[in-house]
Amino acid sequence: MICSLGRALAVLCMMAAWLAQGVAQELPKSPGVESAQGIEKIAAYAGSWSIHIEHLATPYSKASDEHRQLRNDCWRSGGYFACNQYVDGASKVLLVFTYDAAAGSYTSYQIPTDGGVAGSGKLEIQGSVWTFPWEVKDGEKTTYFRVVNAFTAPDTIEFRQESSTDKIKWTLMAHGAEKKFASAAHRP
């Protein structure tokens, strides 16, 4: 949903960016999200969302609290699913998703509006829990990050952003919730 700060910000904005602690397999199933197949699953992000994010003080994040309005203007074209993502009314990034049916894996590409370098990353979907993992290398040191989105209902996402040096112990960086308040407009 990433190896650079710009890529991380794109995924964070898109996926409720920055997410809620304690969300995992014990969450209720979200039938509307789980019934779609392949690339069509990404349609769950389409529409307008109200987002609340609590950032924690960590080596990779500063403590703060924010509220945002997010609108994902999405469409499918062939094997691609794209979303022009608006944050507080301004177009910020074009997200393009692909799906490899043979491997059962998703890839996301983040294209910034300023012409900067596009990023890419993986998306792992297990039921109603969608995870965007990435890593950052600094010399011999690797730090792992992930954004975890848990659909508790088709119109509600609880999310969290975490970091780790070993992929075993994760440190919460941010958490929050997204609530869809408007469905996507129909595209021709």
More confident residue, 16 or 160: 160
The dihedrals phi and psi of 38, each to the nearest 5 degrees, come to 55, -140
Residue 78 has pLDDT above 60, yes or no: yes
Residue 179 has pLDDT above 50, yes or no: yes
Name the pLDDT band for 37 (thresholds 50, 70, 90). Answer: confident
Residues 179, 159: Cα–Cα separation, whole Å: 11
Query: Which residues, other chains included, contact 103 with Cβ-Cβ below 8 Å and sequence gap of 6+?
Result: none
Residues 105, 142: Cα–Cα separation, whole Å: 23
Q: Which pLDDT does position 66 carry in this prediction?
A: 96
Helices (H) and strands (E) in the chain, counts: 2, 10
Residues 105, 107: Cα–Cα separation, whole Å: 7
Name the pLDDT band for 184 (thresholds 50, 70, 90). Answer: confident
Residue holding tokens 């509006």? 113
| CB contact at 8 A, 132 and 150 | no
**Is the domain 5-182 a CATH 1.20.1440 member?**
no
Burial class (CB within 10 angstroms; exposed 0-12, middle 13-18, buried 19+) of 124: middle
- For the entire predicted model, the pTM comes to 0.80
User: How distant is the alpha carbon of residue 48 from its chain centre?
Assistant: 14
Residue 18 has pLDDT above 80, yes or no: no
For 141-178, write each residue's pLDDT tens digit: 999 999 999 999 999 999 999 999 999 999 999 999 99
Name the pLDDT band for 33 (thresholds 50, 70, 90). Answer: low
pLDDT-above-70 percentage for the chain: 79
Q: Which pLDDT does position 169 carry in this prediction?
A: 97
